[in-house]
Structure 1
Amino acid sequence: MSRFVALPKGVSEETFARAISEYRALLGEGRVRTDPASLQSYMKIMIPESEELHKPSAVIYPKSVQEIQKIVGIANKYKTPLWTVSTGKNMGYGTAAPATRGQIVLDLKTMNRIVHVDEELGYCLVEPGVTYYDLQQHFKKNRMNLWVDVPAPSAMASPVGNTADRGVGYTPYGEHFLFSCGMEVVLANGDVIRTGTGGLANSSSWQTNKWGNGPYVDGLFTQSNLGIITKLGVWLMKGPPPGGYYPFLMKFPKVEMLPDIIKTLMPLRMSQIIPNACIVVNAGWEAAGYFTYDKNGKGTNRETFYKGKGSLPPKVFQQIMDKYDVGAWNFYAALYGSPEQVALNWKYVSGAFKQKFGKDVRIITEKEAKDDPIFEYRRQLMMGGSTLQEFGLYNWRGGGGSMWFAPVAARPSECEQQMKVATDILNKYGFDYVSEFIVGWRDMHHIIDLLYDRTQPEEMKRAYKCFDELLTVFTKNGYGTYRTNTAFMDKVSRSYGEGMRDIHHKLKRALDPNNILAPGKSGINLQA
């Protein structure tokens, strides 16, 4: 029986023990852990696969770029792969557990310096362990009128990690990779590069000019395993003047209104009258935000309303909507600028929806919302607020299972078609359609949370088959998946064609021939 929880593929216990000895000689025993208790939090997964498939062999906590350079040297020597995480809170797409069994988790949470914040030009340079909450507290402490765009689980996530996975948020700076500028990256051979103008000695524009000179390479290090990002520049939004932020909610009573909602808001979004990455949330996602558990694990969830098997019948869904006063669709957006500009744009926005929907739209502003917790949660997100509120969505079904299926929709008609197809497939396997559309510049990120009970083996099997069918059918219809969990990274990679997959693997062979950086990430694995 091995004295280690797991071993990397193709590495003997004796070889692995020598590697661990070298890691500990470099970092000390406290920052190189192999005991089950220390690895427990890195074994927790939300995908419908056995934890055995994703067990790490060790966890390492570096504190500097120089240490990471030496770590990759040891990893190359002993062929011990490194699965890099920043805070490990990749909710919906995986946790801190590696894609394949036996990888060493390289946890960068101990690299948590806010290197620089420039209030005048509106940017920051941060390490991977910095969270969105850390930045918010820094702005508050130093009285800086700056906002950083945050994803839904905002307080716990890392700007470096979320940007590297091309996540999105809810302010006008919602496309996170688009609003990043300049990376420091450790390559698999230990070299350190700075992208953009960062390679220029004493560069004064590393976080202000994205392109530098020659081919633009920053994208190579997003959703990839070609390097370890150790610093990232993030553009920050200047907070508007008093009276210049106006969040609002519109509730719609019928599911079939979705294409008309999107059709009405898109011209306002494209003209920047509505400048933020606004969202259209379905009843399930919205209602789940009100679900709570007490300290004994009891409380309100879908099972409170329906104890039968399978997906919720329409009548039960309506009961939940009525209890929590949520629409079939709930549209959150905000206006930004001077008070005069906001007042004028509100006339355009409210007028457009009243003209289209009449009495079938209920408009709620901050004044009407009062102390509603979900409105407050969304209000904070749309102004870059890092909330510590529990993400109530995971109380919907209970049991700890969650996979976010994330196809892209480009037109109102596609939103409707995707909703119908997804609902049919989810209901076929006994699951509910719980979703939101995040409205970008020219597309919508259709985030569907497949929530299931991981404590039920039969339900885990159904969840896996359901996600697999969603991915198969959406791909066949030409709907690309922009981000996925570790169980389906290879299949998503193949959906984009062998040409692109071949380029990814050529880059991997060139930059990481020993396959030591996160094999399996985004379907890139030289051992597969």
Structure 2
Amino acid sequence: MTITTPGFTLTAETVRRLVAVVGDDAVHLEDADRDEYRDPYWYQGDRTYDSSAVVYPTSTEQVQQIVRIASDADVPIWTSSQGRNNGYGGPSPRVKGSILLSFRRMDKVLEINRELAYAVVEPGVRWFDLVDALEASGNEDLIVSIPDIGWGSVVGNTLDSGGTYLPYGMDFQAATGMEVVLANGELLRTGMGGVPGNKSWHLYKRGLGPVLDPLFVQSNYGIVTRMGYWLMRRPEAYAPLYLTIPRGDQLEQAVDIIRELRLSGVLRGVPCFYNIISLAWQFPELGEYLGGKGALSEEQLQELADNSGLGRWGFRAALWGDGPVVEHQLAKITEAWGAIEGSSIVHDHTYTKDQWGPFESFTEKVHAGVPTMDMMNAVPTGIGHLAFSPVIPLVGKEVVEFERLASEFIRENLDENLSAGVLVTNERSLIFICNLTLVLDDEAQVRRARDTLKKMVEHFGTLGYGEYRAHLDIMDLASEQFSFGDHSYRRFCEAIKDAVDPKGILSPGRHGIWPAAHRE
């Protein structure tokens, strides 16, 4: 399939109409203003994914009017909640010249329901904002399943399948009930929200007939302007854990132990593990091992693991629940993990409902639902990343085989070591994130990494691996790998797109879904 993406330029009349809706201070046309909405991990000389304007609505009604104006002008819209999707294209639009709709001014927490433990948020609400709102309203004993970095949007992260780590993070369970602006400017409420005045809109994940909420994740069928998000009551006990896997040849054993602990219900949420290269980026004192020329040898990697005490792989997890239950679960984990020779379990403290903090490390904060920027701040200045992130069965031999193949591919193409982070998203699968490090002031290096990423998508696609999430620059390529039935999955998505957005106004090209006007 050939895709055409002509650039768009706003007419003076379109700008005038936008200003009439949101005000002059909410339509930004200058380069300096628009450049804030670019991925900082992309080489800045490349203007392929520039917008023509950044527009800041403050209400759903304004979003509806903007959509109608864009439709009249035949100019596409690309939405950005906070624009913090660094490494995946950030807030940049796939089609040059699109109107970039920023939701940073739609930042209200619309509802906090203490009895049923949920909140309702606009798309500009950050993780920091939601937690602040809980504390300000006397609901600090309700906690939020959050990602590693707190500056992003609750809605934006959800709609891109971004991971969070507390129990509701498993299989992305927290989001329930959406309000959506469609391409014709009409307003849709999903699930039980379709019944006026229904009180179960943000409580029940289905409705009557097809379940629509998932259709708006990683798609371009509508613009979500309101979303429910389930919260968790602060548990009686919370035990953050760090478990080591001392040697690389113990990874298979460790993965199989993790699977059984998950299937038995001992491990909940989204535990994750990192190899020593990924861990080293998170500990500045290990910088001497990084940044040199060429990949480290097996002996050097093991030396780094031994000297740091972090292991060849480090596994972070947490336990939440009643005190005796957490103690029992910890005993089960200790017994199971003890089968790994030389392994250790770091469990410094079990926090209680009444002694909730202070938390020391950023992982303790994150698994307690306390937003932080610590991980972001640990990244050296001038360093960014791209990622290839396939979904893999939670089986030791499957993980080891992919790790071997990915390590060899990275070494052969970039002369670097694989930097890996693995999210155990449920009891049966995981997301294996292969990070490609970028030296942002070295355009040649960034281009090599980008080219390597494209090669990885194609190569591993032939081996049966598909990504869970794709960078803006490779969305088409990642989608291309889902080729069963002559790309029946993509063709079905395109059929929906053409039906609900016949002019192709909303985020054309998002995750490889193009309207008919762009397909040849």
Question: Is the pair's TM-score, using the shorter chain for normalization, greater than 0.5?
Answer: yes
Tell me: CA distance 1:181–1:307, structure 2 relative to 1, closer, same or farther (3 Å). Answer: closer
Is the 2:497–2:504 contact (alpha carbons within 8 Å) kept by the matching residues of 1? yes
Q: Is residue 342 of structure 2 the alignment partner of residue 347 of structure 1?
A: no
Is the 1:310–1:431 contact (alpha carbons within 8 Å) kept by the matching residues of 2? yes
Residues 178-202 of structure 1, C-alpha deviation per residue, up to 9 Å, x if partnerless?
Answer: 3211000000100100001001111
Give the C-alpha shift of residue 175 in structure 1.
Answer: 3.4
- Which of residues 85, 101, 104 in structure 1 aligns to 2:99? 104
Distance 1:522 1:439 in 2: 23
Give the C-alpha shift of residue 451 in structure 1.
Answer: 0.8
Is the 1:288–1:392 contact (alpha carbons within 8 Å) kept by the matching residues of 2? no
Q: Report the AA paired with residue 402 of structure 1.
A: H
Tell me: CA distance 1:248–1:64, structure 2 relative to 1, closer, same or farther (3 Å). Answer: same
What corresponds to 1:3 in structure 2? none
What corresponds to 2:344 in structure 1? 362
Q: Report the AA paired with residue 365 of structure 1.
A: H
What corresponds to 2:318 in structure 1? 334
What corresponds to 2:208 in structure 1? 213
Structure-to-structure mapping, 1:107-118, within 5 angstroms: 107-118=102-113
Is the 1:290–1:392 contact (alpha carbons within 8 Å) kept by the matching residues of 2? no
Structure-to-structure mapping, 1:48-87, within 5 angstroms: 51-87=46-82
Q: Report the AA paired with residue 109 of structure 1.
A: R
Q: Is residue 511 of structure 2 the alignment partner of residue 511 of structure 1?
A: no
Q: Is residue 151 of structure 2 the alignment partner of residue 151 of structure 1?
A: no
What corresponds to 2:6 in structure 1? 9
Distance 1:518 1:193 in 2: 18
What corresponds to 1:444 in structure 2? 430
Distance 1:426 1:392 in 2: 26
What corresponds to 1:296 in structure 2? none
What corresponds to 1:4 in structure 2? none
Distance 1:306 1:227 in 2: 43
Is the 1:48–1:463 contact (alpha carbons within 8 Å) kept by the matching residues of 2? no
Q: Report the AA paired with residue 491 of structure 2.
A: D
Q: Is residue 224 of structure 2 the alignment partner of residue 229 of structure 1?
A: yes
Classify the secondary structure of the residue corresponding to 2:36.
Answer: helix
What corresponds to 1:405 in structure 2? 388
Aligned pair count? Answer: 500
Is the 2:243–2:343 contact (alpha carbons within 8 Å) kept by the matching residues of 1? yes
Distance 1:366 1:251 in 2: 14
Distance 1:96 1:64 in 2: 20
Residues 334-378 of structure 1, C-alpha deviation per residue, up to 9 Å, x if partnerless?
Answer: 112111111112111101111x124x101111249xxxx997211
Q: Report the AA paired with residue 42 of structure 1.
A: Y
Q: Report the AA paired with residue 422 of structure 2.
A: F
Give the C-alpha shift of residue 23 in structure 1.
Answer: 0.7
Q: Report the AA paired with residue 475 of structure 1.
A: G
Give the C-alpha shift of residue 44 in structure 1.
Answer: 3.7
Classify the secondary structure of the residue corresponding to 2:194.
Answer: coil
Q: What TM-score does the superposition give when structure 1 sets the normalisation length?
A: 0.90
Give the C-alpha shift of residue 390 in structure 1.
Answer: 4.4
- Which of residues 445, 451, 458 in structure 1 aligns to 2:444? 458
Distance 1:363 1:245 in 2: 16
What corresponds to 2:126 in structure 1? 131
Residues 4-61 of structure 1, C-alpha deviation per residue, up to 9 Å, x if partnerless?
Answer: xxxx9364x5x62221121112212110010112112113442468531011111000
Classify the secondary structure of the residue corresponding to 1:173.
Answer: helix
Q: Is residue 468 of structure 2 the alignment partner of residue 473 of structure 1?
A: no
What corresponds to 2:419 in structure 1? 434
Is the 2:180–2:222 contact (alpha carbons within 8 Å) kept by the matching residues of 1? yes
What corresponds to 1:190 in structure 2? 185
Tell me: CA distance 1:35–1:516, structure 2 relative to 1, closer, same or farther (3 Å). Answer: same
Q: Report the AA paired with residue 502 of structure 2.
A: P
Q: What TM-score does the superposition give when structure 2 sets the normalisation length?
A: 0.91
Most deviating of 36-45 and 129-138: 36-45
Residues 275-332 of structure 1, C-alpha deviation per residue, up to 9 Å, x if partnerless?
Answer: 12111111122121122xxxxxxxx675x44664333344544554456432111111
Is the 2:240–2:349 contact (alpha carbons within 8 Å) kept by the matching residues of 1? no
Residues 369-391 of structure 1, C-alpha deviation per residue, up to 9 Å, x if partnerless?
Answer: xxxx9972111221222113242
Give the C-alpha shift of residue 143 in structure 1.
Answer: 3.0
Distance 1:202 1:426 in 2: 54
Tell me: CA distance 1:228–1:176, structure 2 relative to 1, closer, same or farther (3 Å). Answer: farther
Q: Report the AA paired with residue 67 of structure 2.
A: V
Give the C-alpha shift of residue 453 in structure 1.
Answer: 1.5
Q: Report the AA paired with residue 385 of structure 1.
A: V
Most deviating of 429-438 and 483-492: 429-438
Q: Is residue 489 of structure 2 the alignment partner of residue 489 of structure 1?
A: no
Overall identity of the aligned pairs, in %: 30
Q: Report the AA paired with residue 280 of structure 1.
A: F
Give the C-alpha shift of residue 150 in structure 1.
Answer: 0.8
| CA root-mean-square deviation | 2.2
Classify the secondary structure of the residue corresponding to 2:332.
Answer: helix
Q: Report the AA paired with residue 324 of structure 2.
A: E
Distance 2:489 2:111 in 1: 37
Tell me: CA distance 1:375–1:414, structure 2 relative to 1, closer, same or farther (3 Å). Answer: farther
Residues 106-165 of structure 1, C-alpha deviation per residue, up to 9 Å, x if partnerless?
Answer: 001110110111111111110001011111112222332111111122x10111011111
Q: Report the AA paired with residue 281 of structure 1.
A: Y
Give the C-alpha shift of residue 496 in structure 1.
Answer: 1.0
Distance 1:321 1:391 in 2: 23
Residues 59-108 of structure 1, C-alpha deviation per residue, up to 9 Å, x if partnerless?
Answer: 00000011011101110011111110100111332211112321111001
Q: Report the AA paired with residue 412 of structure 1.
A: G
Classify the secondary structure of the residue corresponding to 1:482.
Answer: coil
Classify the secondary structure of the residue corresponding to 1:203.
Answer: coil
Q: Is residue 38 of structure 2 the alignment partner of residue 43 of structure 1?
A: yes
Give the C-alpha shift of residue 251 in structure 1.
Answer: 1.3
Distance 2:45 2:477 in 1: 18
Distance 1:315 1:375 in 2: 32
What corresponds to 1:25 in structure 2? 20
User: What stretches of structure 1 of length at least 5 have no aligned partner?
Assistant: 1-7, 292-299
Distance 1:82 1:418 in 2: 38
Is the 2:239–2:349 contact (alpha carbons within 8 Å) kept by the matching residues of 1? no
Most deviating of 449-458 and 487-496: 449-458
User: What stretches of structure 2 of length at least 5 have no aligned partner?
Assistant: 351-357
Is the 2:7–2:95 contact (alpha carbons within 8 Å) kept by the matching residues of 1? no
Is the 1:425–1:469 contact (alpha carbons within 8 Å) kept by the matching residues of 2? no
Distance 2:360 2:390 in 1: 26
Distance 1:415 1:347 in 2: 26
Give the C-alpha shift of residue 482 in structure 1.
Answer: 0.6
Tell me: CA distance 1:341–1:444, structure 2 relative to 1, closer, same or farther (3 Å). Answer: same
Tell me: CA distance 1:175–1:94, structure 2 relative to 1, closer, same or farther (3 Å). Answer: farther
